[in-house]
Amino acid sequence: MENQMENQEFLADKIRTQEYQLNMGPQHPATHGVMRMILQLDGEEIKNVEPVLGYIHRSIEKMCEKSSYKQIIHLTDRLDYLSSHMNNEAVTLLVENALGIEVNDRIKIIRTIIAELTRMASHQLWWGVMGMDTGALTTFMYAFRDRELINEIMEETCGARLTMNYNIIGGLRYDIHDNFVKRVKEFIVHFKEKLPEYDNLLSNNVIFRKRTEGVGIMTKEQVIAYGMNGPTARASGFECDIRKKLPYSAYGMVDFEEVLRTEGDAFARYKVRIDEMWQSMNIIEQLIDKIPEDDFRMKTKPIIKLPKGDFLQRVETARGDFGVYAMSDGGKNPTRFKFRSPSFANLHGLNKMSENTKIGDLVVNFSTIDVVVPDIDR
């Protein structure tokens, strides 16, 4: 044993190795858009990851300060485009709470159903891309098969597939389409049948297990220290679901479970999202038959002015805790508008996760924190 140690030291003296930098992105298949990471590598081993942001910065916060509250809503579609409905909801809830508008149950329930559908669509896309990042290209199309049905429902009711822009201050832009309830029910039946397929294809696959289990472990303390949230943090046992903690819309009326795991590795992060899809279906099933007859829109003033002061609204998007903060001087536009995006917070943990792992693990870790780059850069 000692001999071996000596030998190694001797070799290390003779063969000089050197760390090198690798520039991953901004155009790289694994970076999900335009993000750049500077990797410090020792052979295949990662010593340091430094994300470089700003490649898709559009100064949305500044644009919001120039816009009226009605106009702000559609800008939030463009942050985390996969949770566009929840982003819209955050702004509408902020304004409604500030103005003291209480929307009726119909609006609340429809908003919640659409939010859960969006969450599922987002997780489906993530699952497909997760498979692709680990090399199983077929998962992507299977995920899109199921996601397409949600998109169809959205298109029929909201008029668009991705940037739905369905919430307006004081209600919804349109009433739900006549087919909505039927189609959602059909989708639930379809997806309950297909979700086990996801497990058989990827979650149980021995190669995938080996790639994710024990990779990128974050403890609960680390997760809290890095300010991570959403499914990524819940995989380490940190209870942070805003739907449970600060119920908004119709989440107070339903009974669902906050998915928690304790392992904190990549597989736990993966599994949390899969289980969240089951919970989303559970929520929708509870609500879909309970949509009361009522107006889909409350009366609001034509020009919306917030009272003087600051306001904060948090919602749970597919990626985690999305916060909107507005400072108003009583005028038509906010004087300061700030978003707290979950992807940005989650990205902080990437370096810690990837310490002393291989390049392949970085891709897995990056995929399991599930960031959307426009949400980071805004």
Partner 1 sequence: MSYFKDIFNAVKTLLTGMKITGRYFFVNLFTRRDVITVQYPDNIDTLKMHDRFRGEVIMGHDENNMHQCDACTICENACPNGTIEIIWDKEKNPETGKTQKVLLNHIYHLEMCTMCGECIEACPSDAIEWGQNFHHVTRDRSNLTKSLNRPESILNPNFVKSKK
Partner 2 sequence: MILELLNQFMPAEVAFYVELVIIAVVYLGVFALLGLFLVWMERRVAGFFQLRLGPNRRGPSGLFQTVADALKLVSKELTATEGRDKFLHGIAPYFVIVAALMALSLIPFSAELQAFDINLGVFFVTAVTSIEVVGIFLAGWASNNKYSLIGGMRSGIQMISYELSIGMTIVTMTVLAGTIQLSEIVEMQRGGWFIWTGHIPAFIGFMVFMIAGTAESNRTPFDLVEAESELGAGFHSEYSGMGFAYFFLAEFVNMFIISAMAVTLFFGGWLLPFEIGADIPFVGAIIFVVKTLSVVFLMMWFRWTFPRLRIDQLLTLEWKYLIPISMVNIVVMAILVWLGLTF
The residues in 236-295 that bind partner 1, with binding defined as CB under 8 A, are none
DSSP string, 83-112: GHHHHHHHHHHHHHHHHT----HHHHHHHH
Burial code (b: 16+ CB inside 10 Å, e: under 16) for 356-370 equals ebebebbbbbbbbbb
Among 23, 204, 262, 335, binds partner 1 (CB under 8 A): 204
Q: Please report how close the Cβ of residue 136 comes to partner 2 at its closest, in angstroms.
A: 4
CA dihedral 54, 56, 59, 61 (to 10 degrees): -90
Kindly report the backbone phi and psi dihedral angles of residue 311, in degrees, each rounded to the nearest multiple of 5, phi listed first. -135, 150
212 contributes a contact to partner 1 by CB under 8 A: no
**Binding-site residue total for partner 1 (CB under 8 A)?**
33
Identify what 160 binds: partner 2, partner 1, none; CB under 5 to 8 Å per kind: partner 1
211 contributes a contact to partner 2 by CB under 8 A: yes
45 contributes a contact to partner 1 by CB under 8 A: no
DSSP string, 309-344: EEEEEEEE-SSSEEEEEEEE-SSSS-SEEEEE-HHH
210 or 290, CB closer to partner 2?
Answer: 210
20 contributes a contact to partner 2 by CB under 8 A: yes
Identify what 330 binds: partner 1, partner 2, none; CB under 5 to 8 Å per kind: none
143 or 228, CB closer to partner 2?
Answer: 143
- The C-alpha atoms of residue 286 and residue 256 are separated, in whole angstroms, by 9
202 contributes a contact to partner 2 by CB under 8 A: yes
Q: Please report how close the Cβ of residue 90 comes to partner 1 at its closest, in angstroms.
A: 17
- The C-alpha atoms of residue 288 and residue 91 are separated, in whole angstroms, by 24
- The C-alpha atoms of residue 243 and residue 237 are separated, in whole angstroms, by 16
Kindly report the backbone phi and psi dihedral angles of residue 201, in degrees, each rounded to the nearest multiple of 5, phi listed first. -75, -40
- The separation between the first and the last C-alpha atoms of the chain, rounded to the nearest angstrom, is 55
The residues in 119-158 that bind partner 1, with binding defined as CB under 8 A, are 138, 141, 144-145, 148, 155-158
Give the binding site for partner 1 (CB under 8 A). 67, 70-71, 73-75, 138, 141, 144-145, 148, 155-160, 163, 165, 168, 173-174, 177, 197, 200-202, 204-207, 209, 302
Give the binding site for partner 2 (CB under 8 A). 20, 22, 28-30, 44, 131-138, 140-142, 145, 201-202, 205, 207-208, 210-211, 358-361, 363
